Homo-oligomer: A and B are copies of this chain.
Amino acid sequence: MATHKLLLLAGDGIGPEVMAEVKRVAAWLDQAGLASFAIEEDLVGGCAYDAHGAAISEAAMVRAKAADAVLLGAVGGPKWASVPYEGRPEAGLLRLRKDLQLFANLRPAICYPALADASSLKREVVEGLDILIVRELTGGVYFGEPKTITDLGNGQKRAIDTQVYDTYEIERIAAVAFELARTRRNKVTSSEKHNVMKSGVLWKEVVTALHERAYKDVELEHNLADSLAMQLVRWPKQYDVIVTDNLFGDILSDIAAMLTGSLGMLPSASLGAVDPATGKRAALYEPVHGSAPDIAGKGIANPIAMIGSLAMALRYSFNQGDVADRIDQAIAGVLASGKRTGDIAAPGTETVGTQDMGKAIVAEL
Contacts and interface: CB of A to CB of B under 8 A. Distances in A.
Given A201-B85, A202-B149, A229-B229, A141 B255 contact: no
Contacts of A158: 164-167, 202
A76 B202 contact: no
B166 A197 contact: no
B155 A159 contact: no
B254 A226 contact: yes
Q: How many protomers of this protein does the assembly include? A: 2
A172 to B, nearest CB: 12
Given A141-B163, A167-B155, A198-B161, A233 B255 contact: yes
A266 to B, nearest CB: 12
Nearest to A166: B158
Contacts of A197: 141, 147, 159, 161
B199 A225 contact: no
Interface stretch (A1-9, A35-43, A118-126, A356-364): A118-126
A91 to B, nearest CB: 9
Interface in A123-159: 125, 141-142, 144, 147-149, 152, 155-159
A162 interface: yes
A165 B141 CA distance: 14
A80 to B, nearest CB: 10
Contact of A161 (B162, B227, B230, B290): B162
Interface residues of A, number: 58
Max chain B CB contacts within 10 Å: which of A144, A251, A254?
Answer: A251
Contacts of A254: 226-227, 229-230
A195 interface: yes
Interface in A87-112: 88, 90, 94
Given A229-B229, A234-B120, A234-B258, A88 B157 contact: no
A306 B3 CA distance: 64
Interface string A177-204: 0000000000000000101111101110
Contacts of A165: 158-159
Contacts of A76: 195
A160 B159 contact: no
Contacts of A163: 141, 159-163
A257 interface: yes
Given A156-B166, A158-B165, A163-B163, A149 B255 contact: no
A199 B230 contact: no
B198 A226 contact: no
A328 interface: no
Interface in A24-61: none
A255 B234 contact: no
B199 A161 contact: yes
Given A193-B247, A227-B290, A251-B251, 5 more contacts: A158-B166, A159-B166, A225-B251, A233-B233, A233-B258
13 contacts: A85-B198, A88-B195, A90-B195, A120-B121, A120-B125, A121-B121, A121-B122, A142-B196, A147-B198, A159-B202, A226-B250, A227-B254, A251-B251
> Nearest 10 pairs between A and B by C-beta?
A159-B202, A159-B199, A230-B258, A161-B163, A90-B195, A226-B254, A156-B167, A233-B258, A159-B198, A120-B125
